[in-house]
Amino acid sequence: MDIEKHIKTLIVKKPLKLDCGKTIKDFPIAYETYGSLNSKKDNAILVFHALTGDQFITGLNPITKKDGWWSYAVGPDKAIDTNKYFVICSNVIGGCMGSYGPSHKNPDNNNVFGTNFPVITINDIVNAQYNLLEHFGIDKLFSITGGSMGGMQVLQFISNFPAKAKTVIPIACTSSHSAQNIALNELGRQAITADSNWKDGNYTSNNTSPSKGLAVARMAAHITYLSKKGLQEKFGRKLQEREDLKFGFDADFQIESYLRYQGSVFVDRFDANSYLYITRAMDYFDLTKQYKGNLSDAFKNTKAKFFIISFTSDWLYPTQENKEIVIALNSIGADVGFVEIESDKGHDSFLLDVPDFLNALKNFLDKSYIGN
């Protein structure tokens, strides 16, 4: 795969002190942009991707040759209208689409980092991405948005840089990763590290990869992105290319076949160590704790306009967790709107064609932009 020629990178020269205590410098951030920055530089939207996303939001992803992960929402005339807005998205550090991560070489010894890459946090991730604003000479973003882990970055970004965004749209996320979410992430990590090809993270030197473990991690996670009703309606107990049960352990049911397929395509595009690092960053995310138990303090210095969106069938980041952010904002009199979108598509709703969601997003952005 000739990755390099498709990937734009910013080399961050400035040292970045990480939460774990280590400092990184001269590290790459891979990014992509859509639309164009206007002369006033007031039309930029920074999008943050979720766990397995990357900088290729919309159009054809040149690496996977599939549609970008947020193609329903971002593009010309879409909710995030690239005719109007300049959209920036970067691969998180710890990731595997060009930004500094465990598959990079350690400059100290020229070996691939593997698990010697420093453990990173959501705070580190947004601090690294902040360099993009300086790179583009943007003083204030028109908006920041993202779903799931992207939403957590939105919350962290506005608390770190309260004056740097006019509007803030966290979607289907939380201010503090729950025990259930940590448990589900741990399941994925255990699947990876239990694969004998993982070799304590040093698999690249053997030219192997823990693809079976990573596939299981993806399969388990994929279930959490859907709703019971959605799964039942799409698959039910339908059999996979067979008339009857085979009394064996092949994929008898369509849902089994579907999950196996999701696992198998995932391992082609994602690095197992990155999966460990990024899920860890999510688990460590606790904005309430960062502000000594008072989430409102995370937002007390910002005048930004917030719009929080959750989905009825999302049991991974349920409405109640999103509402806690609304409550924290209301208790300090912040400008905050909130809507729970009706959808059977589970946590994945924010990535899919859910018209109520896309309309709300578009209306909020476009109406807020008029006041610019």
Residue 46 or 361 with smaller CB distance to another protein: 361
Q: Which CB sits closer to another protein, 156 or 322?
A: 322
Pick 315 or 338: Cβ nearer another protein: 338
Q: Which of 148, 274, 310, 343 is catalytic?
A: 148
Report in angstroms how near the CB of residue 330 gets to another protein at its nearest. 5
Show Cβ contacts of residue 215 under 8 Å, excluding neighbours closer than 6 positions.
260, 263, 264, 266, 267
> 67 or 297, CB closer to another protein?
297
**By C-beta, is 265 or 339 nearer to another protein?**
339
* List 54, 81, 283, 314, catalytic entry: 314
Residue 222: active-site member:
no
Residue 164 vs 305, nearer CB to another protein: 305
| Least CB distance to another protein at residue 310 (A) | 9
Closest to another protein by CB, 62 vs 337, is: 337
Q: Answer whether 16's CB lies under 8 Å from 23's CB.
A: yes
Q: Is 148 marked active-site?
A: yes
Return the amino acid letter for 224: T
For residue 241, what are the contacts with CB-CB under 8 A and spacing of at least 6?
none
Helix (H) / strand (E) element for 12: namely: strand 8-12
Backbone angles phi, psi at 27, to 5 degrees: -110, 150
CB 303, min distance to another protein, A: 12
Alpha-carbon span 364 to 216, nearest angstrom? 38
Beta carbons of 295 and 175 less than 8 angstroms apart: yes
- Using CA atoms, how far apart are residues 218 and 260, in angstroms rounded to an integer? 9
CB of 266 to another protein, least distance (A): 34
* Least Å from the CB of residue 329 to another protein: 9
Q: Which two tokens stand for residue 241?
A: 């290319």
Instruction: Give strand pairing partners of 339.
Output: 309
Report whether 300 contacts 124 (CB < 8 A): no
Residue 87: closest CA among 64, 106, 69:
69
CB of 368: closest distance to another protein in angstroms?
Answer: 7
Q: Which residues bind another protein (CB under 8 A)?
A: 305, 307, 326-327, 330-333, 335-342, 356, 359-360, 363-364, 367-368, 370-371
* Residue 80, Cβ density class (10 Å: 0-12 exposed, 13-18 middle, ≥19 buried): buried
* Residue 314 annotated among the catalytic residues of the structure: yes
Q: Which 8-state DSSP code applies to residue 75?
A: E
Shortest CB 168 distance to another protein, Å: 13
Do 147 and 35 touch, CB atoms closer than 8 A? Answer: no
Catalytic: which of 209, 310, 343, 347?
347
In this structure, are residues 363 and 167 in contact, taking their beta carbons and an 8 Å threshold? no
Main-chain phi, psi angles of 112, to 5 degrees? -60, 135
Integer Cα distance of 54 and 90 in angstroms:
7
Q: From CA 144, how far away is CA 157, in angstroms rounded?
A: 8
**Active-site annotation, residues:** 148, 314, 347
